[in-house]
Amino acid sequence: MTCGSGSRNWWRTVKKKTKKPLSIQDPVIWVDVDDTLVLWNTPSDYPGPTVWLSLGLFYTGDKLKRSFAINTRLVSLIKKYSGTVVVWSQGGVEWAEMVVKALELEAYVDLVITKPFVLYDDLASSRWMPEPRCILPPGWRRTAIGIAYFDEASRPQSSDGDPSDDTTKQ
């Protein structure tokens, strides 16, 4: 099975012990889903674009739906990239596929997988891979332990200084 920028068949499932390994020839960007492609700690009045997703199957066991902020900077980068794009999530391949479909990225993503849990190599990844890049939408920050959050101080202010009032006084 060959997967490259010319064949955007992201829905292919890689099964254990296939006779022929999946072969990717293009430079690959690897994109995580949670707090990277979509952001969990989204305020209910978040001013940017959001997407509603059901969590029942993947995280909570019930039919809970919630709103996630969309990382528009990263979505734009994926759409412009001409090489291979792999999307993964620790929440599993089904969750990652749901997010890719909800963000309408099927035409840009080559492969969706569960997040790798171990990497075997003779060299540390820091020797052959550039520093991981963290791309967040405007107004988002990370805590010291890496949790993404929307910085209320970055919310556009109205003319009277009340961030909840977006109308201009006459």
Q: What does the buried/exposed string (b/e) look like for 31-52 if buried means 16 or more CB atoms within 10 Å of the residue's CB?
A: bebbbbbbbeebeeebeeebee
Residue 80 within a domain: yes
**pTM exceeds 0.85 for this model:** no
Residue 163 within a domain: no
Cβ neighbors of 157 (< 8 A, separation 6 or more) are: 163
The pLDDT score that the predictor gives to residue 65 is 80
Residue 126 within a domain: no
Residue 159 within a domain: no
The pLDDT score that the predictor gives to residue 110 is 92
Q: What is the DSSP letter of 115?
A: P
Residue 40 within a domain: yes
Domain tally, the chain: 1
Contact 69, 50 (CB under 8 A): yes
Domain that holds residue 52: 1-11+22-117
Contact 37, 85 (CB under 8 A): no
Contact 125, 79 (CB under 8 A): no
Model pLDDT for residues 80-118, shown as the tens digit of each residue: 999 999 999 998 898 999 999 999 999 999 999 999 888
Residue 16 within a domain: no
pLDDT along the chain (170 residues), means of 10: 44 53 80 93 89 70 78 94 93 92 95 89 84 82 83 67 37
